[in-house]
Amino acid sequence: MKKNAHSGTRLSHTRETRSHALREEFRRKRCLSADWIPNRKPIAHLVALALGAGLAHPAAAQIVPNGRTATTVTANGVVTDVHTATTRGVNAFNAFSQFVVNNGHIANLHLPAGTQNLINLVDSKAQIHGTLNSLYASGKIGGNVFFASPQGFVVGEGGVVNVGKLTVSTPTAAFMNQLIDAGGNISDAAVDRLLSGNAPQSPEGLITIRGKVNAPGGIALQGAQVTVDAGAHLVSGDAAAAAIAVNLGDGAEVEMVESGGAIHIVSKGDIDIAGSLRADGVGGGSSGGILVTAQNDVRLSGARLDATASGEDADGGGILVWGDRNARAEDTVLVSRGRGQGAGGFIELSADKQVTVRNITVDTASERGQHGHFLIDPDELVIEQSVYKHGGDATFTADEKITILGDVVINTRQVEEDADPDSLATASTGDSGNITIKAPNIDIQAGARLLSFVEEGSEFKAGDIVLEAVHKDEQAFGLANASAGIKVAGTLHGGNITIKSDAQAITEWTSVEGIVTTALDTILGMAAGFNVGLVGANANSAVTIANGANIVASGDVNITSSSTRTATSIQATFLAVTPGQLAAVYGELTGEAKAEIASGASIKAGGALNVQASSENTLDVSAYSFSDNSGSYFSTTLAIGHVDVETSAEIAQGANIDAGSLSLKAKDENDFAVTAGAWANGNGVVGLAVAVSEIDTAVSATLGADVEAAGAISVIADSATSKNRSSSAATTGDGIASKVVFGALDAAGAAASWAAGKSNQASDRANQKAGSTSGSPVKLGSSVSVNITEQDATAAIADDAVLNTGGDVA
């Protein structure tokens, strides 16, 4: 796990990898650094004419310096000009106790000659209800304007901000006092932290945008909570330059230097967006992108986020919306189109826990270049209403579950703007995007539709649809549980359609380390000669095409359900100093792999229909016990293996099947071994080893439906077992095996000699009672192996099934 640099977000490795390049791009652009090149004519008189001429003067602007900077405020009717003589390199500073621009009022912030950044510190909440402009010394719009206030920042409904670039943050009051103290001293380190976006944030810092912000160089908002209300417009890039020109009147033009024109909104709390964010390209270039990331929740409602390129052959920008907890998007439009040969952008809407989507439109198409991509990637995804994706691929992933509710449409077709993309008769204007859905559990409910087709006879290509459920649980010991499943009750209509479920449960304990540890514990007198192990793998995989499901593919339909179960263990006990020695191990494999097409389901494939269920089962458990030469009377070992696995592929009676060919197959591959060994060395009397295997596997492929197939039809059940072995061995006395094993442990003899003496004393007393003075003359080595196996493989075609085929039936 790794933290996201923007908000402390904890992301899974796979999730971070998928979005790494985009997030790194946002990281580089976080502190927007481009400047404005002044326009050809002064505009101060234009803003006055455009916004203030002929109006009764409203209340004066409440712009009050706090004395920490050499700031002067001059009011002339509805226009207030703010100048400062406090500079440090390219930075200029203003400090205010109040900064309020009232409705109908104009405030012009002037950058001193030679400066690029204008840093405005406000003790109270900064409020813009009128118009705020930033001006170079020439009188032209430009400059990087920073507002910092612990109490927050507001742009009211009538508020308009026209600057080169706007950065708003809400640092703590203590940090503000460090940046410029009461004596006017400036901390360069604190300035650097503010400009880089790393200042500590005030919990009371609320940022609310209800009006318009035009900043071609980019916009960055960082607060405890950020709200962009309905009707608000945040615009960067070339579109912002055009908006400023419109605001300031005819003849006003704006030029700027190279800049990405990005929009960043970062919050330590929640983010709510109901307005419009537009990050246009700069100078006819690619978009700088949009970043929205909250440490709590992100909510988009009626929002529009647009990172479309502005110039010919330019790329769309990235859009990343992330919530550390949850994210919700409804009635929202996300756009990042490429122009000409430029590529469409990458859009991600994700959260750490849950994402809920309700009626959103996503567009990452390109006019003539490569389409972009759309990704959703939380723990759990719920799609409540339709998602329209105009070209480009759409990927929905979740760590736990994806549910697509009834009446939801996910559509990746490219059609004319006013055409109905869901209609079979609507002509495509380009290739449809692919739809990919990945989660351990996927539920496509009745009435839901996934559409990536093109109309019949189209020159364009249909998009593929992939549903993939994978769950893997891997343990070093104990029981591994894996469950993966897909249920389709809705409609899938595309090119090639793949529905795949795979569960993998793996427990592998080849306990070399455990053996050494056991031996050392015994030498130290800590072991009791009793060692028991458990390994198991339970894997269940299911694909169900339910009653009412409708799958239509111009290409192939592949439906697979697979399970992998692996349980391996070596359990051993050495050098017991007690009279008895026991090693036992129990291993099991359980579960099913099932692919089912239910009665009432319909599948039509222009190519092949392949339905397969498969299992791969490996059980290898071994138990060994070794008693030394110092008086252990018996060495006993027990190994038990249990397997109960079912693999089935079925097309039920009443299903409607029409395909180029049909392959229905169920298979398993098995490898089973259960081994027990007991060695009682030297004075050992009894060596007993018991190995028990109980194996039950069933494989079935059943075709009960009528089938229309131009090619061959095959129904196959196959079970392949490479090994099914239950074995045991037991010895007593000075056998060769014992000498080999215990010779390797001679170095431990001295450490255990005192315990051996105590054990021999007990042995002598026992022998005296039996009438012997030199140990027992009777030695017993016994081993028992039991293997109970039932393995079935059945392939069947129902007697009343009607098969209309142009090929063979097997």
Q: Of 238, 260, 282, which residue constitutes the final position of a domain?
A: 260
Mean pLDDT of 32-53: 32
Three-state SS string over 694-733 comes to EEEEEEEEEECCCEEECCCEEEEEEEEEEEEEEEEEEEEC
Mean pLDDT of 400-420: 91
- Domain count along the chain: 2
Using the predicted structure, report yes or no on whether residue 289 has a pLDDT greater than 50: yes
pLDDT digits (tens, 9 = 90+) for 722-763: 999 877 665 555 443 334 333 333 433 333 343 334 334 434
Mean pLDDT of 153-176: 96
pLDDT of 807 reads 87
Q: Is residue 481 part of a domain?
A: no
Residue entry with tokens 């053996």: 515
pLDDT of 768 reads 44
Using the predicted structure, report yes or no on whether residue 772 has a pLDDT greater than 90: no
Give me the domain span that covers residue 525: 506-805
Over the chain, what is the mean pLDDT?
82
Instruction: Name the pLDDT band for 688 (thresholds 50, 70, 90).
Output: confident
Q: Is residue 654 part of a domain?
A: yes
> How far are the Cα atoms of 240, 328, 468 from residue 692, in angstroms, in the given order?
78, 55, 38
pLDDT of 10 reads 30
Q: Is residue 562 part of a domain?
A: yes
What percentage of the chain exceeds 90 in pLDDT?
Answer: 61
pLDDT of 666 reads 98
Using the predicted structure, report yes or no on whether residue 327 has a pLDDT greater than 60: yes
Mean pLDDT of 268-276: 96
**Hey, which bits of 548-655 come out as E strands?**
550-553, 557-576, 580-597, 602-627, 634-651
pLDDT digits (tens, 9 = 90+) for 349-394: 999 999 999 999 998 888 788 888 999 999 999 999 888 877 788 9
Using the predicted structure, report yes or no on whether residue 716 has a pLDDT greater than 70: yes
pLDDT of 799 reads 92
Kind and range of the H or E run holding 757 = helix 749-769
The dihedral sign for the CA sequence 758, 764, 766, 768: negative
Q: Following DSSP, what letter does each residue of 781-807 receive, concatenated?
A: EEEEEEEEEEEEEEEEE-TT--EEESS
pLDDT of 348 reads 95
Lowest mean pLDDT among 419-428, 544-553, 623-632: 623-632
Q: Of 260, 292, 315, which residue constitutes the final position of a domain?
A: 260
pLDDT digits (tens, 9 = 90+) for 59-99: 556 999 999 999 999 999 999 999 999 999 999 999 999 99
Compute the distance between CA of residue 676 and CA of residue 640 in angstroms, rounded to an integer. Answer: 9
Q: Is residue 297 part of a domain?
A: no
pLDDT of 260 reads 61
Mean pLDDT of 234-246: 81
Lowest mean pLDDT among 105-114, 405-414, 760-769: 760-769
Mean pLDDT of 148-176: 96
pLDDT of 757 reads 44
Q: Is residue 318 part of a domain?
A: no
pLDDT of 341 reads 84
Mean pLDDT of 326-354: 92
Compute the distance between CA of residue 725 and CA of residue 740 in angstroms, rounded to an integer. Answer: 25
Q: Is residue 462 part of a domain?
A: no
Q: Is residue 618 part of a domain?
A: yes
Distance of CA 515 to the CA centre of its chain: 39
Q: Is residue 485 part of a domain?
A: no
Residue predicted with more confidence, 493 or 767 = 493
pLDDT of 36 reads 25
Q: Of 207, 242, 260, which residue constitutes the final position of a domain?
A: 260
